[in-house]
A and B are shown apart, each in its own frame.
Chain A
Amino acid sequence: MDKFLQLTLTGLTNGAIFALVALGFVLIYKASDVINFAQGDFLLVGAYIMFGMVTQVGLPWSLAVLATMILAVALGLVVERLVLRPLIGEPIISVIMVTIGLSSLLRAIVSSIWGTTGRPFPPFIPNQNISIGGAVIPADRLIAIVLAAILLILFSLFFRYSREGIAMRATADDQQAALSMGISVKRVFGLAWSIAAVTAALAGVLVANIIGVSGVVAGIGLRVFPVVILGGLDSIPGAIIGGVIIGLLETYTGGYIGGGLSQVVPFIVLILILMVKPYGLFGEVRIERV
């Protein structure tokens, strides 16, 4: 029983982090139809900036998180303005190629500043074990779940109730109609990229806090593909629930069946679900009526 609890908590941690990364990915896709292959590298950049701020600049960790968030927003805006905006209206395949290029570029920048060897992350979350109902779980994981959950709730409220959040969803629905409301589509794109960059950077910090800073952090980014396909490429709740499902599936398979299968089973489940729900669990169904 406590093995089950243990695995569930680990699964939820991973799932919450996947959800954060998937949120940004879905946002960019919804707003601008761009599939961002550089999402994982935003995690990497976030983790290394945080690392640099704490160990090299010597900031206390609260300020370091703030600085990381500000730099991530700046990065998102720069990428949108310089890389993506000139490509508006170009074939989707060129845009995808550009995000792949961006991914290599970010990776190269990071390794030229910080090198390629992995390093331990300054422990800003106390690293003790807490036992819950017989399961022992490291505090850093628990805090990662809580932080990710808070962020996800805040963003869900933002998209449901705030003027800017509604404007972003309106733009995703019908760009020209959004323009006719006086909504600035450029601003919406900028906002989507900066939110994506900042959530990814924070996810990167949470991951690095658990596994240390190294290129592996970016690899977590690639795991969002099954998540977003499961949840539905254009669904914000889908990203969250998809993240949690994949996180749990991976740890359960790893724990009960064996490590090698942990990456495979989620894909099998994914295929089964897509056979029933081709838009993913929560993907927006194209509304067709006459």
Chain B
Amino acid sequence: MSGANEYHPSMLRGLCALTVRELKKWLKDPVMILMLVLQPLIWMGLLGKSMNINAIFSTNSLGNLEIRDVKIPGSLLNPPVSGVIVIPGTLIAQQLQQMFSDIGAKIMQNTFGVTDYFSYMAVGMVSMIVMTTTMFSGMSIVWDRRLGFLDKVVSTPVPRAAIIFAKVLNATLRAIFQATVILALAYLLGLQLSSTFTLLNLLGVYAAIFLLGVGLSSVFIAFSLRSTRMERPMQIISLITMPLMFASNTFFPIHLMPDWIQAVASVNPLTYLTDAVRQLTILPLDASKLAFDFMYLSAFAAILAAIGIVLSWRYLTR
């Protein structure tokens, strides 16, 4: 009879097997795939298009400018001329509208770094969806525990880290999938890519998403591990997602926020993901900024994954 010693439970094999299991579950559940696509679609359609800041600065928002003709007596001019000079109101209105729209573009440019808010917003949406997706999919481990699947896995010699990382990886892959849907959609809806954009930049985008996803989901999975009920992780998630989202550059630039929010935003990892993705897609790429974003995200991922692993070690065997 073959002894148990011939087996080599390995991190990689365990990780692959458990991840493939989750992916198979996706594929066999068309409703879930649809949800994965619909969710970003709805967010994009609603938020992305409803917060139409561009429109504020467009000439339409001036309404119908009714400007009377301006009459200037020739004697006021230097050198004086005879008669009266008439500047037609329509001409003035035209000029004003042009100026307004130039100023508007300038304000947009200075505020958001790009002239159209939709592009700015669409990228913010990517961060948002990455955050919610990774947090929520940590909860599938609660299901696994309730159904006994987790206990069975724990009783096998598969490395503990593989159990956790399979969940992390699954959460992150899901986020990447959704981010791709968002970006593709945004492109179709008029996202303006910067001149520095190449398809290679997409890899950078994925790397950034991966880092944030790993960080966030590690911690959430570790916390969910303890509970056999869905409620607690849900409450924590709903408590922190909104503040995280708004105390960041997701929808609005930080430098216009009050100091205390700025302080929060400057440590908020969402800010760095959003900035990295913007640098890689819609902004002219600033290599030093991008490098800093990646450093921050890597540190965030490493620290939180470490915390996640430590907690999992404690909680996997109850």
Q: Are A and B interaction partners? A: no
